[in-house]
Amino acid sequence: MRNPTRRHIWIGVAGFLSLAFAGPVAAAESQIAVAANFTEPAKEIAAAFAKATGHNAILSFGSSGAFYTQMSHGAPFEVFLSADADRPMRAEQEGLGVPGSRFTYAIGRLVLYSAKPGVVDGAGAILKRGGFEKIAIADPAAAPYGVAAVQVMKKLGLYEALTPKIVQGSSITQAYQFVATGAAEIGFVAQSQVVGEPGGSRWLVPAKLHAPIDQQAILLKTGQKNPAALAFVKFLKSPQAIAIIKRYGYETR
């Protein structure tokens, strides 16, 4: 006759082993498309998210326009952090996004920046004064910060004069790289890209000179059943994430 006590012991051991190995299995990961201007804060948020939840956010960085095209053609992103409100709105309207999940996670600020001290003053006078060969901006067709840069130049009545000097990056990251490497003496970049840069010179462009850079996020239908995607959207609204966002020079609502 089998010993019932021994049987209970084996069941208990099996249950313990099952629980012991359940943690890693329960963790999930989500594919997140992130607008290039939000690269550094997104990395910090993803690290904090992993520590808080055990889930992993797999980040991809690029222009909002390029991401939208990719998603429209079936790219497997589950959450979209855009640099504007237009594309998340379109994602919702066109059936790519989960209705009601769209929200503003950050409000961006535009900066005219030079890697060299003393080139850009606190009023951006160099735009009118001249004395430079190239000015970098992000491609307005793909990047909302590029749209804002064009709006600023037009508002100042300088767009036609500056057009021959414009070099376009495919994203705000490439526009920043043009300035950082000296390929362009000055450029319109995101404040988040230079907020931690002690050197160089800059002009924080008044928000009244361009349309608000409302950066919206949306849960995509590809991620609506993924616990990691759902948790990331929730975490992006948390006080911990908001503190990181503000530290990089963004405003929040």
Residue 2 has a pLDDT of: 47
Tens of pLDDT, residue by residue over 12-22, are 333 433 333 33
Mean pLDDT of 7-16: 39
pLDDT in tens, 47-83: 999 999 999 999 999 999 999 999 999 999 999 999 9
Name all domains of the chain by residue range, CATH numbers in brackets: 27-107+213-247 (3.40.190.10), 110-204 (3.40.190.10)
The average confidence (pLDDT) of the chain is 92
Instruction: Provide the pLDDT for residue 77.
Output: 99
Rounded to whole angstroms, the Cα distance separating 253 from 248 reads: 15
What pLDDT is recorded for position 12? 39
Q: Which pTM value belongs to this model? A: 0.84
pLDDT at 25 over 70: no
Mean pLDDT over residues 135-161, rounded? 97
Q: Would you place residue 197 in the very low, low, confident or very high pLDDT band (cuts 50, 70, 90)?
A: confident
